[in-house]
Every structure is written in structure tokens, then in C-alpha cells.
Amino acid sequence: MSHRLKEGGRLIDRSQPKFFTFNGQSMAGFAGDTLASALLASDQLLVGRSFKYHRPRGIVTSGPEEPNALMNLGKGKTFEPNARATTTELFEGLAAESQNHWPSLEFDVGEINARLSRFLPAGFYYKMFLWPRAFWKHVYEPFIRQSAGLGKAPRHRDADHYEHMHVTVDTLIVGGGIAGLNAAIEAAEAGRQVLLVEQTPHCGGRAPVDHAEIDGEPAQDWVDARVAALAAMPNVRLRTRAMAAGVYDHGYALVKERLTDHAPDPSRPRHRLWKVRARRIVTATGAIERPLSFAGNDLPGVMLASAVRDYVVNFGVAPGRRTVVVTNNDDGYRTALALKAAGLEVPAVLDTRTEAMGALAEAAKEAGITVRVGRGIESVKGKGKVEKVWVCDQTRDGFNADPIDADCVAMSGGWSPVVHLWSHCGGKLTWDEAGAFFRPDPERPPTDAKGEGFVRAVGAANGDWDRAGEQPMQPVWSMPEQAGYALKSKSWLDFQNDVKVTDVELAAREGFQSVEHTKRYTTLGMATDQGKLSNINGLAVLAGQLGDEIPNVGTTTFRPPYTPISMGAIAGEARGALFQPIRKTPIHDWHEANSAHWEPVGHWRRPYAFLQEAESVHDAVMREVHAARTKVGLLDASTLGKLIVKGPDAGRFLDMLYTNMISSLPVGKCRYGLMCTENGFLTDDGVVARLSEDTWLCHTTTGGADRIHGHMEEWLQTEWWDWKVYVANVTEQWAQIGVVGPKAREVLEALGCDLDLSAERLPFMQWRDGRIGDFDARVFRISFSGELSYEIAIPTSQGRAFWDALLEAGKPHGITPYGTEALHIMRAEKGFIMIGDETDGTVIPQDLGLNWAISKKKEDFLGKRAQEREHMTDPLRWKLVGLETEDGSVLPDGAYVAEPGVNANGQRRVQGRVTSTYYSPTLERGIAMGLVERGPDRMGETLEFPTIGGGAVKARIVSPVFYDPDGEKLNG
Amino acid sequence: MLILTCPYCGVACDETELAPGGEAHLKRFGPGSTDEEFEGYLFQRENPRGVHFERWRHAYGCGKWFHAARDTVTMEVFGTYSAQVTEPPEEIRAKISAKHPGWSWREFS
């Protein structure tokens, strides 16, 4: 059984007990423990269930490569899934729960899958669930849902906060082990700005566990001296608990720093995401030990040899009382020696090599440890944990194995350099024959803007170890070598995803030769593992089955992040009110004070309607439309885009941008214009006013101002750069207020004007500058409602005052502010199109009956050539019509027109759709616009619109102009 | 995350400051062009492994469009230059030739 040793543990403080819960059960550890070491100290071997077969799983590693010990941490607003127990530092009150079990960790129904494992081979998703079709709903889907995913998604808003940090450094060093510390000192002494990040709370890497001395100094003293030296240098920043997640183009790197995970403190950010630009990046990320593939290697109690000695040396925790070490290299002996030194039993070291003569092996023998060479493990047996180890001849098929009683197996299959960061940005790997691992190829590094390598791997991450006095390792991909199906089908490659040796072999036999395909077919190295433990072993098995060399099979692609980073860290401060800035019109505060029901439009907030006491949104909209149609309404139209286009070539330029002729517009007049993309599709519309001989004011849609400004700049800067035109976006310089309705003129005149606002002196589609009351105003006689309407532009600073003045002056006429929905209904009653409703990026002006606004005189404009294409002139295109339901109801938005009859597949052909649909309080019925195949040629025809959940609504094709078709209301 | 130097304001821009604008040096075909010419102008694009010419806009900076010549494999940037030219400047072509003798991209080499 695993337990706490009486003494030892270089990282723990026995004077500070820490209490925590695991699956609701109270347990104790010490300050300095990880959750994993504290669980082992409490004899909690079983920590989770595997993904597919729900097999009992124990802690395998002592670091971020841990595949099994994934926990749900915290509750409610601080809940977090998939936390690795091996990297979670213990704190008082920590609450952890194991994942992927149902109903309980000890008794799991899904374990039945393990009995069915021969029916759930590689690619089982693709094979099992094909047929019969009727099984999907009641069998397959519930099964997949039950077994899919590891942790649970949080259900509450995250109570913690997070931050981002942007830094530029000369050298980013990843990893605070010996190689990283040396690289940092070298760079710092050369005067570079250095950032050193270490993912654990302690620098030194494996050195204090694995090496007594460095350069003749005690290892810990060596590390402490280097850390102190770096801390004293002004050009060095050293951050622990900081994991480099990814390396990207041109020296960009992401680092996630854990600030309060180990000591919860709501006043501080939980994580900090460093966004680093580095001239050079040094990866000193060390190496990860590989498991060995023998039957039963997934039983709780089978661990990496390095992890076993980490728990003993770092935490004073023994993973077992009797540990069998199995190894293909000298490193396993370090574990045997560490266990022996802690007073624990090591019944045998099984060395797959035919002789053991390295210095470490000799030391083990001297310590009285039995060393059995040429041996491997036939299988590990036990009920939910290691009980017996069957030892066999490594070169044979497991025949004639003898048992050893043990409660722990420490396995070492050699080491793989952590090449993830090197590889993220295109660094290539080369196969190291002697060590049987991929290492960074210094000839093919990731390159920077000068085409020079910017990442350098050092130390173990580069495959460089101090191997003095060590005997060469022996690659072992199958244990024993001649193992048959029965053994290999219990030999796990990927513990987390339940991929066994036989799965990879099957995939190869089924033709999955590419390693990328095999990965996806078998799920080898997927999910949070990302090939940390399983990669090389899996590749080797695949290569063996394909009869090819490992370097020819290659590796899967290493992608960021190295280990998962929290969504909170990615979001940083950009949440809630800071997620995106809100643009406010000068009248925003009035809207807010008057119960505006808001609608987001672009980055703006516009009132959808103003709610009076106890009024529903619908009732408010109806009231607002009625007021504007019968008395006078007031609209805050300040969000409309306003672009000044000025210069000797401005007219020529606008003629290219708009489909209609703009250059011929006289000063003082307005014209409704359409803009298309070069691909012919309608992209924006609005009223253009000519302000002077060389100046035009182009109104855009609310959401379109920045986009159209950019569109104009693009053409001016990149195509017609010799044209003399300036464009300025003056949207926010002006408040714009619509005074709309039969009493509009009277309200303005009540304020006192030096302008003649009569229909004769200021006709429709003209504008004038003048004074209204105390305000400098530009008055446009334009109308989006069909009513007598003045849109008045006032300098922004005066906007609110003008709004208040209008409200006061309009009181006797019952002036009523209205929102966007009333605006929409009134424009639909008039059959005016709305960009984004009637258009969706596939609609040309001709579809909308806007041919009158497309110049036939102009030789060229953006979109003209595109609109000449065959498909654009097809008479069968869907075109704009009005739609009137037979029963007066409101058509569902987006409903399709279905042709009578069905095709061979029982489907109905679609020949149109609803683009805008409203209840019109003016006509007291539902009105709609839609695009219908040959629509305008089919006036009076009745169409069928199937509705969701069956049934259909019938509507007649009518003119889209429902209200005042002769425009009698325009002049009041 | 590329860094490109805006040739107008001289700022070494992080990619987050920039907006991509696709392929450089397109020749516009308008009314009167054949379907093939128009298709080539509007839709056909190079997708090279190696030397490439692109348009970028310093969108969250000076707002200017510019051109960039870079290697899509090594991420090397050969240079950035004015948007208001119809072909890559000689010094940039020379720089590319030094690294990739015999290179060609569309009609340029």
C-alpha cells in the first residue's frame, strides 16, 4: 500500500498539515504536497476511470504528463474540470473529485465496457455505430454521451479573475532545470533581457532527485546559488508556476502563470497569461520518461520509475511497500536505490538487457538489490491494484513466468525529450538511434523574420544527458518481445484514451499507415495527453506492424498548448463590461433614463423601444408607430454612418463606388445610393448629400460606417491612388435626430427657424444649413418612414440639448420618441429594404427591384462587371415581393416558400424565403417582404410557407409597398 | 503571429494591429473583360509554398495599406513596400533572389 514515510520529503513541511477532501472524504497532507502525493500518502491508489473501458486507474507520473489523475476541483463558481492531481499544489480546504465514473469511483457501471473490450477495438466509433439505424436514439447515442468527455463543463460563471501581460524580451528561457539556469545565466551575463519560466514551483528540474552533485557541488546548493544569482540581476525575470504553452511565428510565445491556484485569494488574479515576444527562445523543457508496454501496465500501482522516486525523495511518500523495478536503461536503478535508501523493499530489478554493468547497476547490486537481466514482465495481476508481477524472459513470449509479490511496479522505458515547443512553430526533429527518441534537428529550427532559427533546445530537451558511466539503453516496444494477442490486448499505450498495442496494430492492418490517420482512428495521444506519454511507444508499434523504421513513420503534429490553459486566462480582463467597448450616442443617457429596451447594433446600443409604465415591448412599439404616423415621432439616428468624401476627383470616385450616378447630384440635394462589392452583391445603402462643389456626405448603415470607410480607403489607396480624394469618417461628430410625422414641421417651427421648411422651399431629398432655435443645424428632407420627415444633424456636443428642446417644443403635439423596431415596421410598411434583412451577401440590387438606382450610363462601377454574369441575369432569381397572409397573421421570419409536390427523396423544392416580417399596427395585420423565384411576375399568387413543427401558412404575393403607395404623406 | 513593419509609419506591427488583404498586385478587370479574365482577377489566387506577395493594412495604426513580400514556409520577411506600385520593387526582388535563386511568382521573378 502507498503511505507516508516517517521521514524525508525535500519539498514538504511536516509542521504544516493541510486538510482536503477527495470524493467528499476528508484526507490530510502537508504544505508542499501535490494533490497526487497527498492522495498516495493517504493510500488512495484509485483516482479515476479510463475513458473508454472505465478501467480503474491510478497515478502514473509526477508531472504534467499525467494521463489518469484528472480531477474536478472546487465547486460552483470556482469549479474546474480536468485538473491534474500531479501538478495541483495542495492547500487547506481543497476539494477534489475523480472524473469519468458512474455511479461511484469504486463501483462503476461502465466497467462493463472493459468486459466488452474485444468488441470495442480501434475505430469502434466508426464501426459499431453504423447500423442498425434505429439503435441510434436509444442505444448508441446515450452510450456515447455517457462515455464522452472527461470532466464536466462548469455550470456557473467563473468567480475568479485573470489578467494578461505583454512583454518583449531578448531571450525567453523555458524550464528552470540545470540547462535552463545555465542558459539564463549565460544570456543574462551577455546583457540580454531574460525571462525564465518554470512550470513547477521549484527550479532545479530533476537534478535534486537524480543527482547528488553538480560540478562537485551538492545539487540543491548549486540550484539555489544559480537562482539567487539570477534574482539579483536587473535584466532577468524569473517566474515559477509559469508554463510556456506555445511558440508561434516570429518569436511569439504564450506563458500561463498560476498565481493563486495553490493559495486561493479572490483579491488577486488566478492566472496570468504572458504574451511574450522574444528574439530568441531557449527550450530547456527536459524529458519525459516512457512507460513500458506489458500486460496489466494500467493497473493502479504501476508507475513511471522516475515518478516513484520523485514521490519518495520530494514528498516522503512511498507508492508501495514492495516495488518491482522494470527497466531497459540505467535510470531504473536510480529508483531502486532511492527506494532502498528510504527503507522500502525492492524484490527485484528486471533489466531487459542481457547484462547490467553500468555504475548505477553496480551500486544497486552493492546495496543488496536483486538484479535479474534479460527479464521482462509477462503480466501484472491484481484486483484493482498491483498484487503479483509475473517475470519472464524478455526475448520470448512470456512462457514459464515466475511470480513476485509486489504492490508497486516502477517502469522505465527510456526518455523522450520534450520537443513540443520546438515543434509548434515548424522546428523539425531527427531520430536518435542510441536513445530511441526524436530530438530537435539543429539544422531545421523554426525561423524568424530574417529566416534565422530562433529556438534552441538545450539539455535533456535536446537529447543531451550526462551518460557517463552508463550502459546504453535498449529500445523495448513490446514486453515480452514475442508477446501474443492475449498479452498485447492488455498492454496499454495510451492510458487516458484506452489505446492498447493491439489497437494500433489493428489500425495498421486496416490500412492506416499515416501516423496522423492512426492517431485519429485509434485516439492514440488525443485529448489532454497530446502524445506526452504514448507518442513514441505508439509510433514504434505502428512502425513494427508496418515493417518500417520509426523515423520513416514520423510523429504526429505537436500543437499548442503544451498543457491546457484555462479559458479564463485566454479571456483575461476581456469579460463583462470590458469585453467590448459600447458606443454611445449623445442622447444615450436620456434613453437609459427613459426605460429604453436596448438592441445592440454594431458596437452601438440603440433603443429598440421606450417602455412606459407596465407596458410590454410589443405595446410600446405599436404606440410608437401609431404616434409617428398620426402625430410626430422622434428618432435618435446619430448612429448612422457619416463619411465626408472630398476632393477634385470625389465625384468620379463616388461614381465608381455607388451603382447610381453621384457626380451629377446638384449641391443642396440628396440621392439614395447603393454600394456593391466587386462581386456584385449589395453591401450598403444610404443617402448621399452634395455639400459643395467638391464635397459629398455619404450616409451609411449604422453597422457599416467603419467597414465602408475601410472599403473606400482600400480602393483609394490600392487602385486609384492617383485620384485626388480624401475620406473622413465623421460619424461621431454629429448627432442626428429624425423628426417624423404629420406634425414634424410644426414642431420645428415652434422652436423658431431661420429656414423655410415648407415643401416648396425645402422639397423632399434636399438639405439646408440654418438655425433652429439656438442650434446650428443641417436639415435633410429625407424619410425612411414615408411620413413628412426631417433629419437634423447637430454638432455632437449640442445633440442632447437639441433633443430636449424638441421634446419640449413637441409636447403640445404629443411628440413620441421611438426606437429601432418602430423604424423597422414603418420602413417595411413602405417597402424599403434593410441591409442585412433583405440582403445577405448573395443579393444584388436587381433582385430587390432597385434597377432604377443602377446607372445605365456609367461605363464602370464596382459590381457592374460581376452583375453581367450569367447567374446574375438569370430570370429565375429570387426577387423582392410583398407577402400578405390569408389570415392576417405574421409570417415566421426566415420561413421558406415550398413548391407543391415532392421530389424522389420526398423533399419539397424551395423557391423563396421571408426576409422581413412584422405586425403592422397601421394596417392591423401581418406584413412581410420576401425573395421569391420570379416573384414580381407572380403577383396575386398564393404561396405556402411550411412552419416549424408541421403545418403551413399561406400568403399572397403583393407589392412590397403596403402603405401610402402614392407617397401622399411625404409632404405632411 | 507575424511582425511586419509598416512602410508608411515605420512601426513594427504585431499581427493583431494588421488586417490581411490577400494577394498583392492584382490587375483589375471591369466591364468589357471576358469571363475568364474576370474570374482570374476576382477568384484565382496563388497559394505558394515559399515566396509570396501579400497586401496588408495597418488597420489599428496609421490605416494605410501596404505590400509585404515573405516566405510562407520559413516566415522570413523580405520586405514591406508601398501599396501604390504595380510590381515588387527591384531591391526586394534582389533580396529574394539572393535567398531563392531562380524564384518566380506569377509574372514576376
- Of the residues A865, A872, A873, the best mutation for testing chain B's interface (the one with the most B CB atoms within 10 Å of its CB) is A865
Helix and strand totals (H; E) in chain B? 2, 6
Asked if the bond preceding A442 is cis, omega within 30° of 0, the reply is no
Among B3, B57, B73, whose Cβ lies nearest the Cβ of A250? Answer: B3
pLDDT for A349 beyond 90: yes
- Of the residues A718, A720, A856, A871, the best mutation for testing chain B's interface (the one with the most B CB atoms within 10 Å of its CB) is A718
Residue A723: closest C-alpha in chain B: B84
Is residue A555 situated within a structural domain? no
**Are A401 and A441 within one domain?**
no
At CB < 8 A and 24+ separation, what contacts does A422-429 make?
A: A422/A247, A422/A283, A422/A446, A422/A455, A422/A457, A422/A461, A423/A555, A423/A557, A423/A558, A424/A246, A424/A247, A424/A248, A424/A558, A424/A559, A424/A560, A425/A247, A425/A248, A425/A249, A425/A455, A426/B73, A426/B75, A427/A455, A429/A555
**Are A395 and A426 within one domain?**
no
Cell of A476: 523495448
Tens digit of pLDDT for each residue in A34-78?
A: 999 999 999 999 998 887 777 889 999 999 999 999 999 988 888
Is residue A140 situated within a structural domain? no
- Pick from A21, A108, A111, A107: which is nearest to A71 by CA? A21
Residues of chain A found within 8 Å of residue B74, distances taken between Cβ atoms: 447, 451
Average pLDDT, stretch A71-100?
91
Q: Which amino acid is at A971?
A: N
In percent, the amount of chain A with pLDDT more than 90 equals 85
Q: A499-500 and A492-494 as β-strands: parallel, antiparallel, unpaired? A: antiparallel
Using the Cβ of B44 and the Cβ atoms of chain A, whether some distance falls under 8 Å is answered with no
The answer to whether A811 touches A750, Cβ cutoff 8 Å, is no
pLDDT for A871 beyond 60: yes
Task: Give pLDDT, residue A108.
Answer: 64
Q: Name residue A3's beta-bridge partners.
A: A318
DSSP A747-814: HHHHH-BSS--STTTS-TTBEEEEEETTEEEEEE---SSSSSEEEEEEEHHHHHHHHHHHHHHHGGGT
Provide the CB-side half-sphere exposure for A102 (13 A, CA): 15
The answer to whether A305 touches A279, Cβ cutoff 8 Å, is no
**Are A828 and A902 within one domain?**
no
Tens digit of pLDDT for each residue in A447-457?
A: 999 999 999 99
From B67's Cα to the closest Cα of chain A, the distance in A is 10
**Are A748 and A889 within one domain?**
no
Burial track A365-376 (b if 16+ CB lie within 10 A, e otherwise): eeeebebbebbb
- Pick from A739, A729, A734: which is nearest to A704 by CA? A729
Task: Give pLDDT, residue A380.
Answer: 97
Task: Give pLDDT, residue A132.
Answer: 58
- Opening angle at CA A682, ends A676 and A683, nearest 5: 80
For residue A342, what is the domain's CATH number? 3.50.50.60
**Are A825 and A949 within one domain?**
no
Average pLDDT, stretch A849-873?
96
Q: What is the mean pLDDT of chain A?
A: 93
Residue with cell 451629377: A664
Tens digit of pLDDT for each residue in A279-325?
A: 999 999 999 999 999 999 999 999 999 999 999 999 999 999 999 99
Can you give the length of chain A in residues? 972
Is residue A947 situated within a structural domain? yes
For residue A678, what is the domain's CATH number? 3.30.1360.120
Tens digit of pLDDT for each residue in A648-691?
A: 999 999 999 999 999 999 999 999 999 999 999 999 999 999 99
pLDDT for B41 beyond 60: yes
CB atoms within 10 A of CB A965: 12
ipTM of the complex: 0.97
Tens digit of pLDDT for each residue in A470-485?
A: 899 999 999 999 999 9
Task: Give pLDDT, residue A136.
Answer: 59
Residues of chain A found within 8 Å of residue B38, distances taken between Cβ atoms: 865-866, 869
CA A201 from chain centre, in angstroms, equals 28
Please, what sign has the CA dihedral across residues A859, A863, A865, A867? negative
**Are A253 and A397 within one domain?**
no
State the first-to-last Cα distance of chain A, in angstroms, to the nearest integer: 93
- Pick from A28, A158, A46: which is nearest to A98 by CA? A46
- Opening angle at CA A432, ends A427 and A437, nearest 5: 80
Is residue A135 situated within a structural domain? no
Please report which confidence band the pLDDT of residue A530 belongs to, taking 50, 70 and 90 as the band edges.
confident
**Are A669 and A811 within one domain?**
yes
Please report which confidence band the pLDDT of residue A513 belongs to, taking 50, 70 and 90 as the band edges.
confident
Report the C-alpha gap between A61 and A640 in whole angstroms.
61
Cross-chain residue pair A447–B42, CB shorter than 8 Å: no
Tens digit of pLDDT for each residue in A709-763?
A: 999 999 999 999 999 999 999 999 999 999 999 999 999 999 999 999 999 999 9
Q: Is B7 exposed, middle or buried (0-12, 13-18, 19+ CB in 10 A)?
A: middle
Using the Cβ of B9 and the Cβ atoms of chain A, whether some distance falls under 8 Å is answered with no
Q: Which helix (H) or strand (E) holds A671?
A: strand A670-676
Average pLDDT, stretch A914-933?
97
From B56's Cα to the closest Cα of chain A, the distance in A is 10
Q: A95-98 and A162-174 as β-strands: parallel, antiparallel, unpaired? A: unpaired
Q: What is the mean pLDDT of chain B?
A: 96
Q: A816-817 and A734-740 as β-strands: parallel, antiparallel, unpaired? A: unpaired
Is residue A501 situated within a structural domain? no
The answer to whether A424 touches A246, Cβ cutoff 8 Å, is yes
Question: Considering A411, A442, A470, which residue would you say is the last residue of a domain?
Answer: A411
- Which range of residues forms the domain containing residue A33? 3-117
Cell of A9: 520529503
SS3 B26: coil
Domain boundaries, chain B: 1-19+49-103
Question: Considering A411, A427, A442, which residue would you say is the last residue of a domain?
Answer: A411
State the first-to-last Cα distance of chain B, in angstroms, to the nearest integer: 27
**Are A684 and A814 within one domain?**
yes
Q: Which amino acid is at A836?
A: G
**Are A395 and A422 within one domain?**
no
Cell of A217: 557541488
pLDDT for A783 beyond 60: yes
Which CATH superfamily, name and number, covers B1-19+49-103?
Answer: Folate-binding superfamily (3.30.2270.10)
**Are A813 and A696 within one domain?**
yes
- Opening angle at CA A853, ends A851 and A854, nearest 5: 65
Is residue A145 situated within a structural domain? no
Question: Considering A462, A487, A522, which residue would you say is the last residue of a domain?
Answer: A462
Q: Name residue A318's beta-bridge partners.
A: A3
Tens digit of pLDDT for each residue in A108-163?
A: 666 656 666 665 666 655 555 555 556 656 666 666 555 555 677 888 999 999 99
Is residue A536 situated within a structural domain? no
Among A678, A717, A868, whose Cβ lies nearest the Cβ of B64? Answer: A717
Q: Is A757 exposed, middle or buried (0-12, 13-18, 19+ CB in 10 A)?
A: buried
What's the total number of domains in chain A?
A: 5
| pTM, two decimal places | 0.91
**Are A781 and A902 within one domain?**
no
The answer to whether A822 touches A792, Cβ cutoff 8 Å, is no
**Are A784 and A814 within one domain?**
yes
